[in-house]
Amino acid sequence: MHLSWPGGPLRGTAHPPASKSEANRALILQALAGGGTIGNLSDAHDTQLMQRLLAAAPGSSELSAEDAGTVMRFLTAYLSVTNWRGRLTGTARMQERPIGVLVDALRQAGASISYENQEGYPPLQIEGFSAKSDGAPTRLAVRGDISSQYISALLMVGPYLPGGLRLELTGHVGSRPYIDMTAALMQRFGARYSAEGNALTVLPQPYQSTDYSVESDWSAASYWYAMVALAPAGSEITLPWLRRESLQGDQTIAKMMTHFGVKTTFLADAVHLQQQPAAASTEPLTLDFTDCPDLAQTVAVVAAALNQPVEMTGLESLRIKETDRIAALQAELAKFGGDLRDLGEGRFRTESNGFAVNGQSVATYHDHRMAMAFAPLALRGPLTIEAPTVVKKSYPQFWKELAKSGFAISEAD
């Protein structure tokens, strides 16, 4: 897909999809509760897939989570405690993404799960659940620096474990906002949850049927922040249905983007983004993405394009996403004169040398966030996005929204 910007400021209203992080958690909780209505569900592929698989599970012995990490991990826990029997699989890439930590924990809780091929990776054969009967809470310990999706999966099924769940997170805890989001949604559905440091407790009390409306997605909003940062002077845009009091950790994009000249004003039912001169600073900018790894690609591209060196930490989980996002960023930034340099000890530095956009073609690596993180560069010059349909995973209307906002878009031959 060819993208270019005809000139002049970017202005108007754009509509990010509903949060798939909230939606996929709410759908699992709704299924466990046995009722309730989830409003403002996204048309993102992952959310639609979760809905379909939850509906199909009772009459099916084989389900595919395709390339959706939250779907694979949340369903592994859900299907186990609901005593489902069958095969849970995914795409070739999904079969390269580890799930052993979650499976080990569920086995300790009473699940019967085996690996079809490689130990620690899908496909999984799930063969029911054997509940213990002593009335004591199920006690599990997992590393805190693993994917928060494992931790969220365990927490959500906690009320249905005999005696509830006592989950101890060991070591450093990453992606804490996603764990907090899960806990807050569980409580909306009637769970009794408490946390004492890294010890998380869920009492054995079934969820209640609940109506819930999903907020718009801050991860998707980040691409509009990038556009305002890279657009001509005077650019501004409004994004509806984003909340000041958000459950989403990626709301931190509002604070991060102040460093790149984007001011956020919270309205009653929206946010307004306005370009302004970036604050001058003599200190190197350091940003930690431990709690918001999905923002890393967006920020890396903007920083390189604006020639603002940024030291980035907390990128460990990027290696096992839809692709190796660190390697993908390094390869694609290099085409424009940018780099994500590995400094060692978990530190990376965005740099650029003569950064220019002049018709390059961006590979997307089957990764929706690669396509959307690089698309805003079209405000600086023409470019081509390869395999643009990858955005269906989280933001199916992304290209239509860009066209409505004034981008010139045409399909490549």
Q: 132 or 245, which is more confident?
A: 245
Sorted by sequence, the CB contacts under 8 Å of residue 145 that are 6+ apart come out as 171, 172, 173, 174, 316
Report residue 354 as tokens: 């003569």
Same domain, 118 and 189: yes
Same domain, 100 and 133: yes
Say yes or no to pLDDT of 307 above 90. Answer: yes
Same domain, 143 and 227: no
Give the residue-averaged pLDDT of 162-177: 91
- Cβ distance 176 to 249 under 8 Å? yes
Report residue 79 as tokens: 């299907």
339-380 pLDDT, tens per residue?
A: 999 998 889 999 999 999 999 999 999 999 999 999 999 999
The H-or-E segment that residue 94 falls in is none
Binding residues: 20-21, 25, 69, 97, 147-149, 175, 294, 321, 325, 369, 393
> Strand pairing of 199-202 and 383-385?
unpaired
- Say how far apart CA 326 and CA 317 lie, in whole Å: 10
Q: Helical H runs in 89-235?
A: 100-109, 148-157, 176-188, 218-230
Same domain, 156 and 254: no
- Domain end residue (candidates: 213, 245, 263): 213
Identity of residue 181: M
Binding residues for 3-phosphoshikimate: 20-21, 25, 147-149, 175, 294, 321
Q: 157: closest CA among 65, 71, 81, 57?
A: 81
Same domain, 180 and 306: no
Same domain, 296 and 388: yes
User: How far is residue 342 from each of residues 75, 174, 299, 351, 369, measured CA to CA in Å?
Assistant: 35, 20, 16, 11, 21
Domain count, the chain: 2
Sorted by sequence, the CB contacts under 8 Å of residue 230 that are 6+ apart come out as 302, 305, 306, 376, 377, 379, 380
User: How far is residue 101 from each of residues 68, 77, 87, 144, measured CA to CA in Å?
Assistant: 18, 12, 18, 11
Same domain, 111 and 241: no
- Domain end residue (candidates: 213, 243, 271): 213
Q: 297: closest CA among 231, 249, 210, 225?
A: 225
Q: How many CB atoms lie within 10 A of CB 67?
A: 22
Label residue 281 by pLDDT band (50, 70, 90).
low
Same domain, 233 and 290: yes
Say yes or no to pLDDT of 405 above 60. Answer: yes
Q: Is 87 helix (H, G, I), strand (E, B) or coil?
A: strand
- Domain end residue (candidates: 178, 213, 248): 213
- Say how far apart CA 183 and CA 156 lie, in whole Å: 8
Say yes or no to pLDDT of 134 above 90. Answer: no
Same domain, 82 and 200: yes
What is the distance, to the nearest Å, from the Cα of residue 194 to the centroid of all Cα atoms in its chain? 24
Q: Residue 321's pLDDT is what?
A: 76
CA distance between the termini of the chain: 9
- Say how far apart CA 19 and CA 214 lie, in whole Å: 7
Report residue 337 as tokens: 């004169």
Range of the domain at 55: 20-213
Same domain, 171 and 267: no
Same domain, 230 and 203: no
Label residue 280 by pLDDT band (50, 70, 90).
low
The H-or-E segment that residue 257 falls in is none
**Crossing angle of helices 100-109 and 69-81, rounded to 10°:** 10
Q: 20 or 279, which is more confident?
A: 20
Please list the active-site residues.
294
4-23 pLDDT, tens per residue?
A: 999 999 999 999 999 989 99
Binding residues for phosphoenolpyruvate: 20, 69, 97, 149, 325, 369, 393
Give the residue-averaged pLDDT of 180-186: 96
Same domain, 151 and 206: yes
Report residue 128 as tokens: 């029911």
Q: Bridge-partner residues for 351, per DSSP?
A: 339
- Say how far apart CA 369 and CA 300 lie, in whole Å: 12
Mean pLDDT, rounded, of the chain: 94
- Cβ distance 106 to 80 under 8 Å? yes
Label residue 323 by pLDDT band (50, 70, 90).
confident
Peptide bond into 388 cis (omega under 30): no
The CATH number assigned to the domain holding 298 equals 3.65.10.10
Q: How many CB atoms lie within 10 A of CB 41?
A: 22
- Say how far apart CA 189 and CA 317 lie, in whole Å: 29
Q: Which of 125-139, 178-192, 292-306 has the lowest mean pLDDT?
A: 125-139
Label residue 322 by pLDDT band (50, 70, 90).
confident
70-122 pLDDT, tens per residue?
A: 999 999 999 999 999 999 999 999 999 999 999 999 999 999 999 999 999 99
Q: Residue 282's pLDDT is what?
A: 55
